[in-house]
Structure 1
C-alpha cells in the first residue's frame, strides 16, 4: 500500500469507527502529516482525493470536514470490491449532479422517448480509488419520483424507483469491457486523458419487460477484486 493509500485508508477507518462523524473537523495538514509520518504534500494529495470523492469538504479559512455518506453492501452489490484480506471494501457515494437532457446515446436507444434525466455520482471504494457513475431515467419517470434530496440520491437508486413508482427491477443485463475512458470521465476520475479502464453497462427491466433504467460505471486501473454476482438467475 502506498503512503497516499495508507493515509486515505486511515481517515476512512476513523470515519468507520465513529472517531470522525459527519460535520467533524479533521486535524490540520501538519498534524495529519506528523501523525502518519508522511509529508504535508502527501496529506494534501490524500485530502484532495477524498474531497473529490465527496467524503470530505475543504472550506477556505475554516478547515476540512467530514461529509461522506456510506452505503451498505446491498446498495452497491453490483459493484462490490474486496481487498487482499478477502473482506468487502466500504463504499461511499457522493451525488454530483442531476441534469435533464434530450441528448441521444445508448441510454436513449434502450429507454426510448425524447427526454432523459442523468444522475451523476462518484463512488469511493475504501479510500483507494473512485468510480464514476451515470444513472439514466426517462424524464417522465424521474418526475414521478417527486423531490429528491441529496441523501436520497446517495442511496440505492433502483430501490428508490421501485418504492416510489412501484416499478421493481426484475432483470438486469450487465456488460463489462476494458477500453479508453471518455475524456470527461477521465477528468472526473483525475486520471490521464486516453487512459484505459473498466467500463460497465447495466440495463434494468421492470414489469412486462419494460426498460426502466440505463447505467454506466467507469473506473481507472485498480488492484482490488471485483465481485461478480448473478442477479435474479440471469
Structure 2
C-alpha cells in the first residue's frame, strides 16, 4: 500500500491562514489597523519577513491595504477606491461616472436548483432575491438580479436597500458583517427577454451582455450569486489583465 504524503504548507501561508481566521472572527473589522509586522512576528513566533510575505499576499488579494507611513488596514467597501473593483462597465469615452442604484424588489424565496448549486446550498434553502437597476448619467444600463444566502441576510429589506447612497457591498459589510473578498464571473451574449427589455428600454431580442457573478467572503464561502444584464449600446465591459 502506498501512503499518501502529507500536504506541505509554507510557513507564510500558515500565518496567512491565521490572519484570515482573525478577520473572520472579527478581531479586526473593516477599516481597522492590524498590528505591525513586528508585533505579529512576536505573536506567531516567526520572522518579520514571513509575516510580510503573508501580508503582501493578502494585500494583493484585496483583504488588506497598506498605507504609506500609517500601517496596514483591513480593506473596506466603504473606501471610494474599492468602488470600481466589482463594477467594470464604462461609457464609450472611457470616463468613469458614478452609478445610481435603484432597487425595486426584495423577497425571501426557496433556492432553485441553479441558485442552490451556485451558493452551495440545499434545494429549497432560503435565499434573498433582489432586483435592481443601475443607471449612469441618467441612462439605465444594468438590470441586476441577486440571490443572497438567506441565513446571512435574513433581515434585508427593500427599505434598507433604498436608504442612503452606500453601495450594496458597503451595506452588506456594515449592516450584516459580510465582506465580499473575491468573485468569479462568466460572460456571454444573450437576447433581451420581455422583462429585461422593459427595464432597459430596448427591443425584445436586442443583444445584451449577461454577467453571472459568484461572490465569496472569507474562507472562499459563496454568499451571493448575481445575474446582471448589461446594455452595451453606449458602454463596454473592461477588465484589466495584469
Task: Give the alignment's TM-score, normalised by structure 1.
Answer: 0.58
> 2 CA distance for matches of 1:147 and 1:220?
24
Find the aligned partners of 1:128 and 1:190 in 2 and give their Cα distance: 10
Q: How much does 1:178 deviate?
A: 0.8
Q: CA deviation at 1:218?
A: 0.4
Determine if contact 2:92/2:234 at 8 Å carries over to the other structure: no
1:73, distance to aligned residue in structure 2 (A): 7.5
Indicate the structure with greater helix content. 1
Distance 1:229 1:203, change over 3 A: farther
Q: How many residues align?
A: 160
Structure 1 residues 1-234: aligned runs within 5 Å: 74-102=82-110, 104-111=112-119, 112-113=121-122, 114-143=125-154, 149-152=160-163, 155-229=166-240
> Shift in Å at residue 214 of structure 1?
0.7
SS at match of 2:83: helix
Q: Quote the offset at 1:223 in angstroms.
A: 2.7
Mark the CA change 1:183 to 1:158 in structure 2 (over 3 Å): closer, same or farther: same
Query: Which sections of structure 1, spanning at least 5 residues, go unmatched?
Result: 1-71
Specify whether residues 218 and 84 from structure 1 end up closer, same or farther in structure 2 by C-alpha distance, changes over 3 A only. Answer: closer
From the superposition, tell whether residues 146 and 184 of structure 1 become closer, same or farther in structure 2 (CA, over 3 Å). Answer: closer
* SS, match of residue 162 in structure 1: helix
TM-score by length of 2: 0.56
The SS at the match of 1:161 is helix
Larger Rg: 2
Tell me how far apart the structure 2 counterparts of residues 101 and 79 of structure 1 sit (CA, whole Å).
26
**C-alpha separation in 2, matches of 1:108 and 1:154:** 30
User: 1:151, CA displacement in angstroms?
Assistant: 3.6
> Which runs of 5 or more residues in structure 2 are unaligned?
1-79
C-alpha distance in 1 between matches for 2:104 and 2:165: 10
